[in-house]
Amino acid sequence: GAVVSQHPSWVICKSGTSVKIECRSLDFQATTMFWYRQFPKQSLMLMATSNEGSKATYEQGVEKDKFLINHASLTLSTLTVTSAHPEDSSFYICSAPHEGGNYGYTFGSGTRLTVV
């Protein structure tokens, strides 16, 4: 089945540094990738939608300059948290629709980011 590989699984970084999270579609072409943030015991909150070869669409309230999304190829989308601060600590998940979304969405395994 469709697989999205997400790395790293967890990362600890110092405040002020940047962290890049990668999501690769291994056996299908992901023209669209959704990036979510999930707080403990809460549902997924959509941050942005990336489309291959075009600028990402950010949800209201999400800082574009802090959360840089790049979708340069049909198999790779990246999220870079720039100048990270402790409040950016969270669980980040990527997801891509396959078969047009009608058959479901494939999720990466998530990245737990801790900013110290």
Sketch the per residue contact string, 22 through 61, with other proteins: x for CB under 8 A, - otherwise: ----------x-x---x--xxxx-x--x------------
103 binds other proteins (CB under 8 A): yes
Q: In terms of Cα–Cα distance, which of 27, 25, 31, 32 is closest to 6?
A: 25
By CB atoms closer than 10 A (0-12, 13-18, 19+), residue 21 is: buried
Binding site for other proteins (CB under 8 A): 32, 34, 38, 41-44, 46, 49, 91, 93, 95, 97, 100-105, 107, 109-110
